[in-house]
Chains A and B, each alone.
Chain A
């Protein structure tokens, strides 16, 4: 077999390998909504208050809030970004932080839709587990029960 034929076979195999590297398609808006939305029993104001409390429990600080719209956004500075956070103006600076956004909408007379969106370093996080954990914590807050799992994330300084 000539060297030229070997190169061609190698090239063909390489093409085949790249064709196999199919990336998963991005989630649709409906899929994101399904992952991030949970139902909570109670009126909107109570759910919003409970969710706001859970946000603090998880170590985030509020960066935006609109009670009328039912939205709250909060941020948390990862340890790796702490120095940049300090050197670039704190909360108002451009340091890349982890964020959480919640949106509470009254779905029926006794139920609300709670949508929880996490972004780590600006990247949209697809995590049923984190959303479910948040939802569980909101429900515990609604019931004013002590959570079984500790929620404190540990302190700085």
Chain B
């Protein structure tokens, strides 16, 4: 009886812990994804393009007038990992269906918005395997930070006096 009560108590506690975090509003997302740079929009766009190249992304969409960019990077799993996975799944399924690990696709969308004549807003939105990564996701934040650092380097390189 005591055991049942204890399990019930644990279950209630566990359910209380299942508090769903509310989805972020557009303003909250902007706060995490949008950065301001002290350069005109065309310069910011060029820096963004350059940063994507530096980070190993292939640009698929580039519209400088609209300030939109989409780029994608493919990451293949290590051959050893894939071979191990194929052998293990073949053994476990008794030769029924060996499975490999498909490549991962990292996509980044960038929107460059002119704020004033010499200020721009840059929004970086990362995707993983075609699906959006929430702005508070650790991997997403790391990706955004990486692109942001490369962009800043570009802006600084071209404008050392500032």
Contact = CB atoms under 8 A, between A and B. Distances in A.
Given A86-B129, A146-B27, A155-B132, A67 B74 contact: no
A86 B131 CA distance: 11
Given A49-B113, A57-B29, A155-B140, A91 B105 contact: yes
A26 to B, nearest CB: 30
Contacts of B74: 90
Residue among A53, A66, A146, A155 with the highest chain B CB neighbour number at 10 A: A155
A115 interface: no
Interface string A113-147: 00000000000000000000000010011000011
B70 A155 contact: no
Contact of B137 (A60, A75, A157): A157
A146 B25 contact: yes
B96 interface: no
Given A82-B129, A86-B104, A153-B132, A65 B23 contact: no
Contacts of A82: 129-131
B65 interface: yes
Interface stretch (B48-56, B120-128, B148-156): B120-128
Contacts of A52: 66, 68, 111
Contact of B66 (A56, A72, A151): A72
Contact of A147 (B26, B68, B72, B131): B26
User: Which 5 residue pairs across A and B have the least CB separation, nearest first?
Assistant: A77-B130, A155-B134, A156-B131, A67-B65, A150-B23
A25 interface: no
Nearest to B27: A146
Interface string B58-84: 001101011111101010000000000
B63 A152 contact: no
Contacts of B125: 56, 61
B160 interface: no
Contact of A97 (B22, B23, B27, B130): B130
Contacts of B123: 53, 56
A156 B132 CA distance: 6
Contact of B105 (A86, A147, A154): A86
Interface in A82-106: 82-83, 85-87, 90-92, 95, 97
A136 to B, nearest CB: 11
Nearest to B138: A157
Contacts of B23: 150-154
